[in-house]
Structure 1
């Protein structure tokens, strides 16, 4: 095994990396490594103007060469994840803000094209982006929520009882509040968790004078999406439709099965104003609603960028 460093610029402290790998068949006469290096050089030039660095390494063995491209983003604040911090650094960071970001997600069917952990992954990705812009610590994520309405008998959804989620989440927040945290920013895309978060937040404000806010992702993006998406209203924002799929194409394109995108339309309902509590997968066997086919990473980038900017603007003035 030979390791060769093809390219490395100055990488400042407080950066983080995302890794993209590809395998190339090595041929002595085709100069594949040279072409890969040339492509990476072009990528580097495109990224320089946006405060990015690129590190390219190459591992070769036999007839295979594996290139690793590390894209390093810097500028703003380093991302602060409590699970990766020692207690000394954690205490120092929290003392600056007395604030914590808490991602609260869900595991449920999200169409054949998106992962079942979509809400959890979005909550974590958005929490991380907020952290690096404002310098707040991201606390432990709660990956599974109340998803009874999307339960799928054949598998794909995990749900917990409302009281289980309430007790677990309350204990986390209470534990943090006892150590001096005065503000909690919940990032909770899943609608089924909203009443539980609301109950906990209201109780904390009354009993401890602790402030809480909720970034209800799939609702807060709706006015921002006007002019970005092809559709509007429910066709755009229904479960795993254009808005959700675009968001995922930008945040985690590696997890999107684009070949499975399919327009399933909206089920006819003469009384949409009256809740009827029909199991979701009975009405929508494909586990998604509407038409995700117009979705794109470019749309997702606009949605995420503008919404995170608005959230950060709010948090900076929220005391």
Structure 2
């Protein structure tokens, strides 16, 4: 259900029916000459709209403006908001949702710059609302590297970089009219990882970068459709597991002996 379509007189009835709120997180950011500036808005909205109604989501409008990294900030069309401002802004939104009595909030993210901000907000919200649960999901992590490689949707590249074929194939599947790779759009190869051990981020302008990265000539409608099906299936399973978790009080004991949501009832 879309919050924008809920009448004031019906709000309480809706709140009694929904299981969680969804806040899609995007950006207005350069994604290469072949891609729309609203790539992350399209992705966040696209996945929010594909949540199954049986999950009882209450979907809020996408947040389009946010902090963008230095490596895209100076490309034309990027609008970057100070991290402190977007952190406060997102906190106020989630706090307003919690004030309605909703305690499950999904932050459905399509922009890597939102990850740190979202975690900060989630930690602040759950400190205020002890029975709240904030789930941060980055859509691109809903498809495993192994499954993508086994499906053979790309050749010689994982394609997961900013503005690359993984991301832009999905945008093409959502909006075929908005992704246009021409013969002049150069395939770029990212530098090798610093280690096979996990690390979070090295910020800066990497090798194989021109406001986007990846072998963009491999962008395809077919790959995008496959990724969407795989991502949505895995996202639904994650949400079902999340909604069935028990509500916990401080100290770890279960609140009232009940689960957070009895899914399907």
Tell me if TM exceeds 0.5: yes
Moved more, 309-318 or 111-120: 309-318
CA contact (8 A) 1:151 1:159 kept: no
| RMSD between superposed Cα atoms in Å | 2.5
After superposition, what is the alpha-carbon deviation per residue over 1:259-310, rounded to whole angstroms, capped at 9, x for unaligned?
3673432255695779664346x9623x211202222212211111121122
Alignment of structure 1 residues 263-282 onto 2, 5 Å: 263-268=186-191, 277-279=203-205
Residue 131 of structure 1 deviates from its aligned partner by: 5.0
Identify which of structures 1 and 2 has the higher relative contact order when contacts are C-alpha pairs closer than 8 Å and 6+ apart.
Answer: 2
CA contact (8 A) 1:250 1:300 kept: yes
Q: What corresponds to 2:248 in structure 1? A: none
Alignment of structure 1 residues 102-181 onto 2, 5 Å: 102-130=23-51, 132=53, 134-153=55-74, 155-181=76-102
CA contact (8 A) 2:143 2:234 kept: no
Alignment equivalent of 2:209, drawn from 276, 281, 284: 284
CA contact (8 A) 1:103 1:188 kept: yes
1:248 aligns with 2:174: no
Distance in 2 (CA, whole Å) between partners of 1:164 and 1:115 is 25
Q: What corresponds to 1:205 in structure 2? A: 126
TM-score by length of 1: 0.67
Distance in 2 (CA, whole Å) between partners of 1:115 and 1:306 is 23
Equivalent position SS for 2:21: strand
CA contact (8 A) 1:116 1:156 kept: yes
1:297 aligns with 2:218: no
Gapped regions of structure 2 (runs ≥ 5): 244-259, 261-265
Residue 149 of structure 1 deviates from its aligned partner by: 2.4
CA contact (8 A) 1:131 1:137 kept: no
Pairs aligned (count): 237
Equivalent position SS for 1:186: strand
CA contact (8 A) 2:19 2:56 kept: no
Alignment of structure 1 residues 33-112 onto 2, 5 Å: 80-112=1-33
Moved more, 308-317 or 169-178: 308-317
Distance in 1 (CA, whole Å) between partners of 2:204 and 2:52 is 39
Equivalent position SS for 2:23: strand
Cα 1:216–1:154, aligned 2, differ >3 Å: closer, same or farther? closer
TM-score by length of 2: 0.80
Gapped regions of structure 1 (runs ≥ 5): 1-79
Q: What corresponds to 2:136 in structure 1? A: 214
Cα 1:302–1:91, aligned 2, differ >3 Å: closer, same or farther? farther
Residue 113 of structure 1 deviates from its aligned partner by: 0.9
Q: What corresponds to 1:19 in structure 2? A: none
Cα 1:178–1:297, aligned 2, differ >3 Å: closer, same or farther? same
Cα 1:268–1:179, aligned 2, differ >3 Å: closer, same or farther? closer
CA contact (8 A) 2:29 2:79 kept: yes
Structure ID, larger Rg: 1
